[in-house]
Amino acid sequence: MYVDNNSQSFKSAFIALAGRPNSGKSTLMNTVLQEQISIVTSLPQTTRRNIRGIYTTEEMQLVFIDTPGIHKGKHTFNEQMLTEATSALSADVDLICYMVDLSREFGDEESVCASAIAGAGASVLIVFNKADRCSDPDSKINSFLSRFPEFKNYPQIKISAVDPKSKKVFLDAASTFIKEGPKFFDDDSLTDANMRTLAAEIIRKQVILNTREEVPHAVFVEIESYKETDTGHKIIASIHVETDGQKAIVIGKRGSLIEKIKKDARKEIEALVETRVTLTVHIKITPNWRNDGAFLRSMQ
C-alpha cells in the first residue's frame, strides 16, 4: 500500500537479498527487522518465496526482498524458484545485497549466483557473512575476489548476520544507496506477505525443524482455509508430501510428530497475530509434486 509522505528529507529503497541457499539472507533481514518474518533454519533452500520485510524509522523506509537461494536443481520446482529469485534481481530495486557465505567453499553454485547478480544491472553491496565460522575470513574474501574479479570494486562488509551488531554495520553500509523517496507502507507494517503465506511458511518451518533432512524439500504446505473470527483465527492446512514413507515420518509414532508440528506452528502464529489460533492439518500424498507443473501453478 502506497502511503503519501510530504517530508522532503524522507528516504526509501527497495533492497533485494540474494545469494546461494543458506547464505544468511533471511537471517540478516530478520536481524534488521528484529522480527522473524522469513524462515530461518540450518538447512539450505528454506525460503521459497520473495518475501518482503519492511523496516521503517522516522527518516527512512527499507523494503527488503528476501529471495529464494540461487541454485540449479533437478526439479521443475527448483527451476521455478530460480526464476523467482532472478526476476526479483531484474525488478526495479535500488540495491542488491549479495550474501556470500564465508564458511563454505565457492563452487559452481556460487558461479551461477555471481553471474546472475553481476548481470542484473543494479547497484551491489557484497555482504560477506558467517565470518565467525571462518578461521581466516580475510583470506577467504580474497579468494572470492580472485575467483570473481568483476566484484573487486564493489563496496563490501564483513559480518555475522546472527549478531545483533550486524544491523548497524549493514545499515551504515546501505545508507549510501538510500535516496530521497516516498513511504510505501504504513509505519507498523513489517511485511506485505498476507497471513495465508506466513502461516504456510511457519507450518513448513516446523516440519523442517522436526523432520530435519528426512523430508523437508519434499514438503509443500497449502492453506486451504484461513478465517478471522471474533474468537480467533481458524486455519485449515494441508501438508503435501511425495511418498507414503514421507507421510509416515511427518505423522510420527502414534501421531506424536504431527501433533508437535501443529502445536509449535500454532504457538508461533498466535504470537504473530496476538489472538487465539485453531489449526487443523491434513497430510496428503501428492506424488512427484516438485515436477508437476499443473500442481505448482495451482499453488501460486
Rounded to whole angstroms, how far apart are CA atoms 100 and 158?
Answer: 10
Q: Is the pLDDT of residue 211 over 60?
A: yes
Q: Is the pLDDT of residue 226 over 70?
A: yes
Is 21 in a helix, a strand, or coil?
A: coil
pTM beyond 0.75: the answer is: no
Q: Which residue has the higher pLDDT, 41 or 150?
A: 150
The identity of residue 172, as a single letter, is D
Is 16 in a helix, a strand, or coil?
A: strand
Rounded to whole angstroms, how far apart are CA atoms 12 and 92?
Answer: 13
Here the cell at position 54 is 519492511
Q: pLDDT tens digits for 117-145?
A: 887 778 899 999 999 998 999 999 999 99
Residue 247, number of CB atoms within 10 A of its CB: 17
Q: pLDDT tens digits for 23-80?
A: 888 889 889 988 766 554 444 444 445 667 889 999 999 988 877 655 455 544 445 5
Task: Give the end-to-end CA distance of the chain in Å, rounded to a whole number.
Answer: 21
In this prediction, residues 239-258 reach a mean pLDDT of 91
pLDDT number for residue 115: 85
In this prediction, residues 261-279 reach a mean pLDDT of 90
Q: Which residue has the higher pLDDT, 248 or 108?
A: 248
Q: Is the pLDDT of residue 214 over 70?
A: no
Q: Are the C-beta atoms of residues 87 and 58 closer than 8 Å to each other?
A: no
Rounded to whole angstroms, how far apart are CA atoms 38 and 48?
Answer: 10
pLDDT number for residue 89: 60
Here the cell at position 99 is 550474501
Q: Which residue has the higher pLDDT, 105 or 122?
A: 105
pLDDT number for residue 298: 63
Q: Are the C-beta atoms of residues 247 and 292 closer than 8 Å to each other?
A: no
Q: Are the C-beta atoms of residues 138 and 111 closer than 8 Å to each other?
A: no
Rounded to whole angstroms, how far apart are CA atoms 98 and 153?
Answer: 14
Residue-averaged pLDDT of the chain:
82
Angle at the Cα of 223 from the Cα atoms of 213 and 217, rounded to 5 degrees: 15
Eight-class DSSP state of 222:
E
pLDDT number for residue 26: 84
In this prediction, residues 200-204 reach a mean pLDDT of 87
